Amino acid sequence: MSTATTNTTGEPQPLTYPDGLPDSVAPLGDKPVRALRILIPIVSFAAGALIVGWYLNPKQFYHSYLFGYVFALDIALGALFWTLIHHVADAGWSVGLRRIFENITRAILPLVALFIPVLIGIYSGKLHAWFEFIHKDPSTLVGHEVHLQHVKHLYFATPFLLCRLTFYFAVWGIYARRMRDWSTRQDVEGGVALTKKMHWWAPSGVALLGLTATFFAFDIVMSLQYSWFSTIFGVYFWVGGIRGSLATCVLVVLALRRAGYLQHTITVEHLHDVAKIMFGFTVFWAYIAFSQYFLIWYGNMPEETQFYLLRRNGAWYPMSILLPILYFVVPFFMLLPRAHKRSVRWLAFIATWILVMHAYDLYWQILPVLHNDTIHLHYLDVAAPVCMFGVVLLSTIWGLQRFPLIPIRDARLNETIGYENETP
């Protein structure tokens, strides 16, 4: 029988298994030493590069840092979405995958602290242009800028902005923590009571996650161009995180399977279904991206077209042309054949491709605000996403070391073990 202890807050502590939990699903303990020996130096080196960049070129640092930060946060929020949607759908086949997503959401806590440099960039005037705009002399404003200045001044007033951001992070942190705690408690207690509790809270979590992620995208990313707006931008933002978290999950599972874990729990059948979902969201991303572009194109209003006009300058233009090709067309055809969805090598390549292209997309969204004329690739543009994604992976490994790799006493675990896709 499994045994466990709890601390004074009631949080489950690492479990012990005197009856011998199978090694393939047991907590990693200190076993992923090799992975940490590679990952920790890389993250440390990238963090050091960011510190040097902050000293030498603060404006570049804050924009690159925001790019890397949003990349990591988007993936963590995508994992929270999949954790919640699993309970909303009451799915059986994905029970084994749920623990991977739960562990990816552990990155939300360190990302709360890592948001501080973003705030410093905002209030130091080195990041968001709208701070310069809302404090302009009203006599210098023209046209729609007069009304916009008053609205932005109220919306981005410091107390209101900080209250919104606090609310966003509180929602994400509370739901991620509660879902993990109830899940790991079930490893000890068993039964369906905790499952029902997770099912009850998950729908409100999905609704709040969609709302908060959308407004976070408005407040922190869309506001980089203070007078531009798009009502579909929030969906564009979080659909990228949903794809990125699926790709991260695939890579984590493949790494665990290669190390000898989850061999009979998460099989190629599960990965096949994940690949089908990635294919679906690849098409959905293209639909959202095209909808945003097409509505702005035929509306032809200066306050909307400015977003795409800025990205027609210099080397940004070919990058804009390549974005739908590399982020939609290429993964679409890579994921189309059934054989590719069931090939470990193909899945590893496709998942890596989608992650890199997600970073490409966010770079295209954020960095033109700093370099209006053309692309100026800086070493900080590489160091920031590497460092932040490393934080996501380290947080995930921390959870994998301490708790079983699957929910070992979930009532529907038998539905995921031995799961098979229907033969075409």
Residue 21, domain member (yes or no) = no
User: Is residue 82 one of the residues assigned to a domain?
Assistant: yes
Q: Is residue 18 part of a domain?
A: no
pLDDT of 2 > 60? The answer is no
pLDDT for res 12: 46
Q: Could you tell me if residue 80 is inside a domain? A: yes
Distance CA 181, CA 369 (A): 41
Helix (H, G, I), strand (E, B) or coil at 16: strand
| Residue at 424 is within a domain | no
pLDDT, tens only, 249-293: 999 999 999 988 998 889 999 999 999 999 999 999 999 999 999
pLDDT exceeds 90 at position 330? yes
* Residue 16 is assigned to a structural domain of this protein: no
Residue 140 has pLDDT above 70, yes or no: no
Q: What is the pTM of this model?
A: 0.92
User: What is residue 147's predicted lDDT score, i.e. its pLDDT?
Assistant: 63
- Selected residue with higher pLDDT from 141 and 358: 358
In a domain, 108, yes or no: yes
Residue 299's CB is within 10 A of a number of other CB atoms, namely: 10
Q: 145-155 and 158-189 helices cross at what angle (nearest 10)?
A: 50
**Higher-confidence residue: 9 or 360?**
360
Q: What is the pLDDT of residue 132?
A: 62
Q: What is the pLDDT of residue 413?
A: 87
pLDDT (tens digit per residue) in 342-386: 999 999 999 999 999 999 999 999 999 999 999 999 999 999 999
- 316 Cβ contact list (under 8 Å, min separation 6): 310, 364, 368, 374, 375
Domain with 303 in it: 33-408
Number of domains comprising the chain? 1
**pLDDT tens readout for residues 61-91:** 999 999 999 999 999 999 999 999 999 999 8
pLDDT in tens, 171-190: 999 999 999 999 999 998 88
Let me know if residue 4 belongs to a domain.
no
Q: What is the widest separation between alpha-carbon atoms in the chain?
A: 77
